[in-house]
């Protein structure tokens, strides 16, 4: 048995189902070992796509997604997806091929110090320099990657080490033991919550990772406390719940900002500062905060909790609820605020203008998708509208990259989502800019039989940057481009292609595309004049409730 074969045995031992990646000269021994493995190797068209697939796989399953590249440019192509997983707290293990250790001391073709290169974008990384260390390195990689806060790790395997005889066997995997919050921290939180007149819950992606949706919903319901979620916390409480105030996270004021203005206590549950800076909702650090998380709070001058309840989230919420003497009804402002948010959302239900307003596209998409169906949002102007208007009944049904916010994630991410949930319908929502960054992975999707729909918001430019330029300078530059015929492009790849010609076309087109047994692409013209209109309304927002 050589090192590459031992590595693959260790990956099998960790329960790895898929490895996403590209073949290369320096990972030949790993590929050869995978031929006899239960692990399915999915050959992608670009290493960035492979990393994004591993990223979304990790986020949806809680188990580290695995991606593989060769050295040099293959490894550098992985970097964006690895960094995205690390900042979005998705468990991922990246494996790179490398030149032999006998070549590292001299100038060598395609050689880069990959351990040094990946250090800033991973929780931990290592190079295998002794075959006997392989099992320990793999076990440590998965343990660190999947521990809170999850993230990316990297293993570098030189080609001569991969070919060497190796002894040993995979190490026993160990589960993550639950930890429980201290009695003192729970009592401090109980006292603050019992006394607050206008508390507000801010829930983040950590609550999804901890499977705390049921406990959080019960907590909010019994204590009558309204809930706002971050972009990455969608669905922790059903959006139809009477206390749900939907999403917070835009970089400008919105209706939900009024809720934070009124709050005399913010209860942060599974909230990560990287999801939405506290300086946006607590700029002076004046609002008292309770931090309920599985790890201690980060240090930020706008985020200094009066209590840190650190332990299993569901247990912490249950223990606080059991002790909390709170008979308050929701503050009237919270109910009025919810009415304002809902009214803003439904006003586009019957809009028939064309090109279609982004709010209407998102509204119609929500009408077509079932509660368990999954959307993967790319990054761009459409992401702002998806984050604001696409609401979820269940956790992990709207995946948004918001820690690293990397363009190009939607299509490879949708492929991974379809692998994880074969029985659910999946839609990749992207702009025309993000679509062209990784559209080649639609061939991968066809080849591995993962049919999903790609919905393109087509405005012929980088809409989000134009939005920001117009806000700041009153004009825009360098943001426009031309597009191919997306329908013909889809058809040339053996996919189904559709073009929306009127507002009335969108829902029937979505329904038909979702029934296809091959990936489908929908080209939908969008009216991004709404971007500036929203900015003007937000700038004039006056919290009178």
Q: What is the mean pLDDT of residues 62-78?
A: 97
CA atoms of 260 and 252, how far apart (whole Å):
13
pLDDT tens per residue across span 18-41: 999 999 999 999 999 999 999 999
* pLDDT for res 532: 86
Q: Say yes or no to pLDDT of 204 above 70.
A: yes
315 pairs with which residues across the strands? Answer: none
Cα→Cα distances 535→327, 468, 532, Å: 39, 10, 5
Comma-separated ranges of CATH 3.40.50.1220 domains in the chain: 183-335
* pLDDT for res 498: 98
Spatial CA neighbour of 524 closest among 499, 490, 495: 499
Q: Say yes or no to pLDDT of 545 above 60.
A: no
Q: How confident is the model at residue 525 (pLDDT cuts 50, 70, 90)?
A: very high
> What percentage of the chain exceeds 70 in pLDDT?
98
Contacts of 390 (CB under 8 A, 6+ apart): 234, 362, 365, 366, 375, 377, 398
455 pairs with which residues across the strands? Answer: 429, 522
Tokens representing 165 are: 């005889």
Tokens representing 509 are: 């087109």
Q: Say yes or no to pLDDT of 7 above 70.
A: yes
CA atoms of 66 and 93, how far apart (whole Å):
5
pLDDT tens per residue across span 91-103: 999 999 998 888 7
Pairing of strands 453-458, 199-203: unpaired
* pLDDT for res 375: 98
CATH architecture, domain 183-335 = 3-Layer(aba) Sandwich (3.40)
Which string of b and e fits 194-216 if b means at least 16 CB within 10 Å?
bebebbbbbbbbbbbbbebbebb
Ramachandran angles phi, psi of 315, nearest 5°: -65, -45
* pLDDT for res 240: 94
Average pLDDT, the chain: 94
CA atoms of 113 and 98, how far apart (whole Å):
9
Which string of b and e fits 318-349 if b means at least 16 CB within 10 Å?
ebbbeebeeeeebbebbeebbebbbebbeebe
Residue 286, class by beta-carbon neighbours within 10 Å (0-12 exposed, 13-18 middle, 19+ buried)? exposed
* pLDDT for res 331: 67
Tell me, which fold does domain 347-537 have in CATH? Rossmann fold (3.40.50)
126 pairs with which residues across the strands? Answer: 155
pLDDT tens per residue across span 380-437: 999 999 999 999 999 999 999 998 999 999 999 999 999 999 999 999 999 999 999 9
Q: Say yes or no to pLDDT of 544 above 60.
A: no
Asked if residues 262 and 543 have their Cβ atoms less than 8 Å apart, the reply is yes
Q: What is the mean pLDDT of residues 290-314?
A: 96
CA atoms of 250 and 384, how far apart (whole Å):
7
Lowest mean pLDDT across 43-47, 166-170, 333-337: 333-337
* pLDDT for res 333: 74
Find the Cα–Cα–Cα–Cα dihedral 53, 55, 59, 63, rounded to 10°. 90
Comma-separated ranges of CATH 3.40.50.970 domains in the chain: 3-163, 347-537
Spatial CA neighbour of 292 closest among 276, 275, 274, 315: 315
Asked if residues 57 and 30 have their Cβ atoms less than 8 Å apart, the reply is no
Q: Say yes or no to pLDDT of 543 above 70.
A: no
Length of the chain: 545
Q: Say yes or no to pLDDT of 493 above 60.
A: yes
Bigger pLDDT: 109 or 364?
364
Spatial CA neighbour of 329 closest among 256, 243, 268: 243
CATH of the domain spanning 3-163, picked from 3.30.70.2660, 3.40.50.970, 3.50.50.60, 3.40.1260.10: 3.40.50.970
Spatial CA neighbour of 500 closest among 463, 454, 443, 541: 454
CA atoms of 312 and 316, how far apart (whole Å):
6
* pLDDT for res 111: 81
Q: What is the DSSP letter of 2?
A: B
pTM of the model: 0.95
Q: Say yes or no to pLDDT of 461 above 90.
A: yes
Bigger pLDDT: 515 or 335?
515
Asked if residues 408 and 378 have their Cβ atoms less than 8 Å apart, the reply is yes
Q: Say yes or no to pLDDT of 541 above 60.
A: no
Q: Say yes or no to pLDDT of 260 above 70.
A: yes
Find the Cα–Cα–Cα–Cα dihedral 413, 364, 493, 94, rounded to 10°. 0
Find the Cα–Cα–Cα–Cα dihedral 131, 137, 142, 146, rounded to 10°. -170
* pLDDT for res 540: 56
Q: How confident is the model at residue 340 (pLDDT cuts 50, 70, 90)?
A: confident
Estimate the share of the chain in helix, then strand, then coil, as percent rounded to the nearest 5: 45, 15, 40
């Amino acid at each position: 048995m050589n090192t590459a074969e031992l590595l693959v045995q260790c990956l099998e031992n960790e329960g790895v189902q898929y490895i996403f990646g590209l073949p290369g000269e320096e990972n030949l021994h790993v590929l050869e070992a995978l031929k006899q493995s239960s692990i399915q190797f999915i050959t992608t068209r670009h290493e960035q796509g492979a990393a994004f697939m591993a990223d979304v796989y990790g986020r949806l399953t809680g188990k580290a997604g695995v991606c593989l590249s060769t050295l040099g440019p293959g490894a550098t192509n992985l970097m964006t997806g690895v960094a995205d997983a690390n900042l979005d707290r998705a468990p991922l293990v990246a494996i790179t091929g490398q030149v032999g250790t006998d070549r590292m001391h001299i100038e060598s073709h395609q050689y880069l110090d990959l351990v040094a290169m990946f250090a800033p974008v991973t929780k931990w990384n290592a190079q295998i320099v002794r075959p006997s260390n392989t099992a320990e390195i793999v076990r440590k990689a998965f343990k660190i990657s999947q521990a809170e806060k999850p993230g990316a790790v990297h293993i570098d395997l030189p080609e001569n080490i991969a070919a060497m005889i190796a002894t040993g066997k995979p190490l026993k995997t160990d589960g993550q033991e639950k930890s429980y919050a201290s009695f003192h921290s729970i009592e401090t939180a109980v006292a603050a919550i019992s006394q607050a007149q206008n508390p507000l819950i801010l829930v983040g992606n950590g609550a999804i990772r901890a499977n705390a949706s049921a406990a959080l919903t019960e907590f909010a319901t019994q204590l009558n406390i309204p809930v706002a979620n971050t972009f990455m916390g969608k669905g922790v409480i059903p959006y139809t719940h009477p206390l749900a105030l939907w999403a917070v996270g835009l970089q400008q004021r919105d209706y939900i900002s009024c809720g934070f203005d009124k709050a005399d206590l913010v209860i942060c549950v599974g909230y990560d500062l990287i999801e939405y800076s506290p300086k946006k909702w607590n700029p002076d650090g004046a609002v008292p905060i309770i931090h309920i998380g599985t790890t201690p709070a980060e240090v930020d001058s706008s985020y200094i909790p009066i209590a840190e309840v650190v332990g299993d989230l569901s247990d912490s919420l249950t223990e606080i609820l059991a002790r909390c003497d709170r008979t308050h009804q929701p503050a009237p402002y919270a109910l009025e605020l919810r009415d304002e948010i809902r009214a803003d959302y439904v006003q586009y239900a019957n809009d028939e203008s064309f090109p279609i307003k982004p709010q209407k596209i998102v509204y119609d998409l929500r009408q077509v998708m079932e509660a368990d169906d999954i959307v993967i949002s790319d990054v761009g102007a459409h992401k702002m509208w998806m984050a604001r208007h696409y609401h979820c009944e269940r956790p992990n049904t709207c995946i948004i990259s918001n820690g690293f916010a990397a363009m190009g994630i939607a299509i490879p991410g949708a492929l991974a989502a379809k692998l994880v949930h074969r029985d659910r319908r999946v839609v990749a929502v992207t702009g025309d800019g993000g679509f062209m960054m990784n559209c080649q992975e639609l061939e991968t999707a066809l080849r591995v039989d993962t049919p999903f729909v790609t919905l393109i918001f087509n405005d012929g430019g980088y809409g989000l940057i134009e939005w920001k330029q117009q806000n700041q300078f009153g004009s825009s530059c360098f943001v426009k481009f031309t597009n191919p015929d997306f329908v013909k492009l889809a058809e040339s790849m053996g996919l189904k292609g559709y073009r929306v010609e009127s507002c009335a076309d969108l829902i029937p087109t979505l329904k038909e595309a979702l029934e296809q047994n091959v990936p489908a692409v929908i080209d939908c013209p969008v009216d991004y004049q709404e971007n500036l209109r929203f900015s003007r309304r937000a700038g004039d927002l006056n919290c009178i409730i």
